[in-house]
Structure formats: C-alpha cells, structure tokens
Amino acid sequence: MSNLYKLSTHIYADGADKESLLKLYADPLIKGLTTNPTLMHKAGIKDFETFARDVLLVVKDKPISFEIFGNTFPEMIRQARKISAWQKNVYVKIPITDEKGISSDPVIEELSKEGVQLNVTALLTLKQVESTRLALQLGVPAIISIFAGRIADTGRDPEPVFVAAKKILADHPSAQLLWGSVREIFNIIQADRCGCDIVTVPYDILTKARKMMGTDLTQLSVETVQMFHNDARAAGFSL
C-alpha cells in the first residue's frame, strides 16, 4: 500500500477537469475536492454554475469547494449564499482580500454567522490567519487555506507559518488548516508533519506521488543513470 495512506493529513484533489475530478472522487484516498476560477478557466469551462451543478450530481458525500468571483462585498455575499445552497457538502471559497487588498473579514464574519461553510483562501501571513479565526464562528465548519507554494516561491520556509497557524486555531476545532499550492511530493510530507488537517494535491503530482513516494533511492539512482544512457543512444551522440 502507498505511503500516502499512512498520512494523518487528508488529501483533497485540486482541479477542474470533470472527468478527473469524478475519478478522484471515487478514490478512497481522496477525502475532498477543491477548484477555483483559474483552474476552471484553464479547463475551458464557460458556464460556472452548469459545471458545478453537473459535478454535484455525482459528488454528494465528500466536501467540495467552489470559489466566488465577485469583487464587491455585497456581490461576494450574494454569490456565496447561492453556491452554499446548492448542496450540503459544498464549501464556499472566499479570498482573504478583494482585488485592492481590502480584508474580506466582514464577508467571512457575516457568512459564518449564517452557518455558511467557508474555505477562506489565498492566505499567506499569520496576521491573516489571526483575523480569519476571529471572523469565523465557533461550531461552523470552515477551512483556512494557506498557500505554502507561494510562500516558498519568495524564498521563505512555509513550515513555521503552518506550525504557528495550528496554534492560533487550537481553540477553534471546527476550523481546519489546509496546506495549499503544492509544488512537489515532499510538500505532502511537510503538510503532514506540520499537523495540517488537509493538503490539496493537483492531479499530476498525486499521480507522481502514487508512483514515486517511498521508492528505494539506490534503485532510483540506477534508473536515473539508465535514463541518461538511453537518451544519449536515442540522440545518436558520439565522441
């Protein structure tokens, strides 16, 4: 059995390709699903609601997150209420700020008070975690998504951020901490050792993790050398 099954952290699949999402939904390793407007745009989706409702015809007993795309607080709230009403397993993704960098905490607080299950997304700082925690209602399910990959892209180590965030959320058991923006298989291990409740994994990395995770390094070294030799022969190199 893959080492992926031994993790304490739940693996969520991240994507917007309907066929792949539904295939992953049926996989017992996958505990939930997420998507966002960027992934949906790349997948060629033109009608947000039609796509979401079509997926929800099948996805009924695992959490799934759909992200709002309004940029005024009233519009964000309107869209969130509409999306939340689609099905009981739906979480509504709310970006931590609007496009101008104004905090979405008022939106988060209002929706959480209404009992809307939220996935607060695109967090990068502990200050954002602290303010989000205060905006969320105790007892209302929520996910707090910190984008580890984007933190790492700036040359910073994301692990201390998650360790500290876990402590901030310690007295809020209904709020789950999510390691987002996975770039490589090792990020999954990092998420697990930081005590994250969830890690979102893109389809290509999940496929690679199933194949590579726990591979014997000596054998992998031999396979790497074999690859170099095979590619040199295929190229017809000579000296």
End-to-end, the C-alpha distance of the chain in Å comes to: 45
pLDDT in tens, 176-188: 999 999 999 999 9
CATH code of the domain containing 115: 3.20.20.70
**Domains identified in the chain, total number:** 1
pLDDT band of 1, cuts 50, 70, 90: very low
Q: Is the pLDDT of residue 161 over 80?
A: yes
How many Cβ atoms are within 10 Å of 171's Cβ, its own excluded?
A: 9
**What is the value of pTM for the model shown?**
0.94
Q: How far apart are CA 31 and CA 56, in angstroms?
A: 15
Tokens (6 digits) for 222: 């031999």
Residue 48, pLDDT > 50, answer: yes
Domain span at residue 13 reads 3-235
Specify the pLDDT at position 3.
82
- What would the mean pLDDT of 71-83 be, rounded to a whole number? 97
Residue 65: how many other CB atoms lie within 10 Å: 25
